[in-house]
A and B are shown apart, each in its own frame.
Chain A
Amino acid sequence: MKTLEEIHKIKEEKRKELELRVHTDLDTREKHILVCHGTGCTSSKSIEILENFKNIIKEKNIKNVRVVKTGCFGLCAKGPIVIIRPEDTFYANCKPEDCEEIIQTHIVEGNKVERLLCKDIDGKIVNSLDELNFYKKQKRIALKNCGVINPEDIDEYIAFDGYMALEKVLKNMSQDEVIDEIKKSGLRGRGGAGFPTGQKWELTKNVDSEQKYVVCNADEGDPGAFMDRSILEGDPHCVLEAMIIAGYSIGANKGYIYVRAEYPIAVQRLQTAIDQAKEYGILGKNIFESGFDFDIEIRLGAGAFVCGEETALLESIEGRRGHPRVKPPYPAQSGLWGKPTLINNVETYANITKIIINGADWYNKIGTKNSKGTKVFALGGNVNNTGLVEVPMGTTLREIVYDIGGGIPNNREFKAAQTGGPSGGCIPKEHLDTPIDYESLKEIGSMMGSGGLIVMDDTKCMVSLAKFYLDFTVSESCGKCTPCRIGTKRMHEILEKICNGDGTEIDIIRLEKLALNVKDSSICGLGQSAPNPVLSTLKYFREEYKEHVTYKQCRSKECKNLAQIEIDASKCKGCGICQKNCPVNSIEGEGREIRKINQDKCIKCGTCLTKCPFNAIK
């Protein structure tokens, strides 16, 4: 247990020590080596890198150097990332063997290791973080502490104003004042639908009940989305703090975090954070001597996408199959065990503490008219800088893809961007300049979703992309309501037929009609949004569907049955491996001759594609 005075003391002392993390021009002999420990970097050996650094420093008995594990820096494509502060040197793609050189050259001799310095897309060597184009247009609010503090150390969180928002709320603000502040800030739910957060809090507060619950939705099931995970891994305390504030404002004293079991690092760091907060008396009875009690428990998901839907999530916490409930009643009236429950997404909570500290007026100046603040996107797919970006609402897609993302690899052309995962839609080239917010995305047939943003180049077939998403929703549909259970299955069958070259014009019309039906008649968000990928590709890429059914052609050669396999004469060396492996002897040519495929015989099995050692077959 710590008193408030003790926590203030920790803050002051620790802040002095850590000042060099945020001020690059600080004149100090001390150096901090920050090693990214997000999932991306740990899967390419950043744990070993950290150990190596520690061992070398111990061996050589170097003073004034500290090695720190941090959360995600965002630029996962360059991982594992090592950053040395205060000078802010950015080393990319480090290997465990490089540690020796970094210590010797950088720390001991004071020179930079040129070969490891990060290069920007144009090939320019980058000396510090701020010089990278990737960071220039970003504004970090939810991710403020990610990559700055050690997520497993509560003192470092406290040093950067941690739990100060909680103190302010418990000491100086009434329940209504907190809710008013959140309402005034214009914050909307970051889980996808964008319901105004303050209003949700107010609704839950106004229900009269002895027992209420606060729930954090960290069941980030969208394939290609990983911002919630990064927040939990990089700054778990900010979610806890916001949940306690939420509990105080609505009158709840029990919280649950529902997190995917597939995120072991996030679960472990959350548990550490909860234990530390309990040790400091920030969680538990009589927090900061205000008479307010709050406790948080972690609940693990078990790999069901539908549990990201709020009512299915509640069912799952109660230990049952994750079937969504019929709304109304909304969780605000009757949620967990029939009690009023407040459910918010991780990223929403991550914004709360900053709004309380800096004020609603600071927050609502950022963003567009109806969507305030920033949004974190997980940028992935065919784009140079894959990773995590946080931009103010109203940033255009072009800025995200070309300025921050560094454009498309291999000088290919942008074809579409997909937002919102399996519930969202495709945004074509014409809409690259649309400012992104909740309303504008809805208008062009997509949705904000949780924030996955997948960029696709011109080699992607839009019909098979729609099929890919339907494949996902078919296997993830919980089976409770008929339109979703059977409708998605039938839609998938029609798409399969089209991709196999057996489709007709009528199939396209049937597909569209069915998609609209499923959208209108499903119970929960999963079914209502499952047809979005089909509807948006039909809207913007209808000619591609038509090519599949009328000319039996797939322009990107992704649909195997429609593509013609050809040998690139400039690459073929005449080795004959393809010929030997072809099951129907459709490849012609002898000796060192350049081979040719007899299209009449070819069954498009694709064996030659994988066997060719020179990648000459396409």
Chain B
Amino acid sequence: MLENEKEICNCNMIEEFMNKIFKTYLPEKDNLIQILNEVQDEFGYIPKTAQEKISEFLKIPMAEIYGVITFYSRFTLEPKGKYTISVCLGTACYVKGSQKIMDRLKERLKIEPGQTTEDGMFSIDQTRCVGACGLAPVFTVNGEVYGKATVKKLDEVLDRIKIRRIRGLGFGDGFKILIIKNRDFKPVPESLF
């Protein structure tokens, strides 16, 4: 289990959040998955502090909570990167070539699905169907869906994020509009990064 500095200083925040959601649930064992879902949505992973709190609240051993977390693919024990890119590998997307997009993503970021880059910027996820089969193949960046994807489109998105990072710009709402407006945008050589 991961206990980095970030988590230690977030302890108070986590405790505060946990106390808040405990007010909305009865201390019954069947609420475990609902509570874990809320924690996952809030922090992007399930911190150890949160697990301890849940264990006390629901009177379930830590080991059992750990078992539930590792069983369900939606829960993670490590913080995700700032940008989580998920490629849909559902059948409809697979048939239309999403494996190529996944391969390209792995090649560019040099990590495997489920991992995060060392600088904490990117995570890769593989999802089974986000339900946008009509737009296959599909990948999402932090939940925003990019339909009818191609390797080129993925490259453009990655390049955009990297450039904005060099210039010290954030990845705000303007990001998507930028991509759409700059259709003739040329990738910047890797050596610049």
Residues of A participating in the B interface, judged by any CB pair closer than 8 Å: 39-40, 43-44, 75-77, 79, 221-226, 229, 261-263, 299-305, 316-322, 378, 380-382, 386-387, 418, 421, 452, 454-456, 460, 468, 472, 478, 610
Q: Given A303-B73, A321-B67, is A261 in contact with B37 using a C-beta cutoff of 8 Å?
A: yes
Q: Mark B147-173, 1 if CB is under 8 A from A, else 0.
A: 100010000000000000000000000
Inter-subunit contact B91/A382 (CB<8 Å) = no
Instruction: Give a binary string over B61-96; 1 marks a CB under 8 Å from any A CB, 0 the rest.
Output: 000000110011111000000000000011110111
Chain A residues within an 8 Å CB radius of B130: 39, 43, 262
User: Is there contact, CB below 8 Å, between B129 and A225?
Assistant: yes
Cα distance A455–B91 when bound, in Å? Answer: 10
Contact B134 A468 (CB under 8 A): no
User: A428–B95 Cα gap in the complex (Å)?
Assistant: 16
Q: Are B135 and A224 in contact (CB under 8 A)?
A: no
A-B contact pairs, 6 of them (CB 8 A): A39-B132, A222-B129, A302-B40, A378-B133, A456-B95, A460-B95
Chain B proximity of A260: nearest CB distance (Å): 9
Are A223 and B90 also in contact (CB < 8 A) when A43-B145, A305-B128 are? yes
Q: How far is the CA of A300 from the CA of B34 in the complex (A)?
A: 6
Q: Are B71 and A322 in contact (CB under 8 A)?
A: yes
B128–A472 CB distance below 8 A? yes
Using A380-B133, A381-B92, A386-B134 as known contacts, say yes or no to A302 and B37 having CB atoms under 8 A apart.
Answer: yes
Within 8 A of A (CB), among B1-40: 29-34, 36-37, 40
Q: How far is the CA of A40 from the CA of B72 in the complex (A)?
A: 25
Picked from B29, B33, B91, B100, the residue with its CB within 8 Å of the CB of A454 is B91
CA distance A320 to B68 in the complex (A): 6
Given contacts A300-B37, A319-B33, contact A380 B136 (CB under 8 A): yes
Q: B32 to chain A: which residues have CB within 8 Å?
A: 319-320
- Top 9 A-B pairs ranked by shortest CB distance? A76-B134, A223-B90, A380-B92, A43-B145, A302-B72, A303-B74, A224-B91, A319-B32, A303-B73
CB contacts (< 8 Å) of A418 on chain B: these are: 91
Q: Does B127 contact A (CB under 8 A)?
A: yes
Closest B residue by C-beta to A256: B30
Q: Using A299-B34, A302-B74, A319-B31 as known contacts, say yes or no to A381 and B96 having CB atoms under 8 A apart.
A: yes
A316 touches which one: B29, B33, B67 (CB < 8 A)?
B33
Nearest to B140 among chain A residues (CB) is A43
Chain B residues bordering chain A, tally (CB within 8 A): 39
**A316: B residues at CB distance < 8 A:** 33
Contact status of A77 and B134, CB under 8 A, knowing A303-B73, A321-B67: yes
Which of A302, A316, A321, A378 neighbours the largest number of chain B CB atoms within 10 Å of its CB?
Answer: A302
Number of A-B residue pairs at CB separation under 8 A: 128
Q: Evaluate contact between A229 and B95: CB separation under 8 angstroms.
A: no
Given A320-B68, A456-B95, A610-B151, A304–B104 Cβ distance below 8 Å? no
Q: Is the CB of B134 within 8 A of A79?
A: yes
Look across to chain B and name the residue whose beta carbon is closest to the beta carbon of A307: B72
Known A229-B131, A317-B30; judge A302-B75 contact (CB<8 A). yes
The complex places the Cα of A403 from the Cα of B49 at a distance, in Å, of 57
For B31, the chain A residues whose CB sits under 8 A away are 319
A44 neighbours in B (Cβ, 8 Å): 135, 145, 147
Whether A43 lies near B147 (C-beta < 8 A) is yes
Q: Are B95 and A223 in contact (CB under 8 A)?
A: no
Closest to A44 in B: B147
Contact B73 A381 (CB under 8 A): no
A301, A454, A478 pick with most chain B CB within 10 angstroms = A454
Instruction: Please give, as numbers and ranges, the residues of chain B lying within 8 Å of A386 by CB-CB distance.
Output: 92, 133-134, 136
A151 CB to nearest chain B CB (Å): 15
Give bound CA distance, A418 to B133, whole Å.
15
CB distance from A529 to the nearest CB of B (A): 15
Contact check, A381 vs B131: say whether CB atoms are below 8 A apart: no
Considering the complex, give the chain A residue whose CB is closest to the CB of B146. A43
Chain B residues with CB under 8 Å of A262's CB are: 74, 127, 129-131
Given contacts A381-B91, A454-B91, contact A226 B33 (CB under 8 A): no
In the complex, the chain B residue whose C-beta lies closest to that of A610 is B151
| Chain B proximity of A418: nearest CB distance (Å) | 7
A548 to B95 CA separation, bound complex (whole angstroms): 20
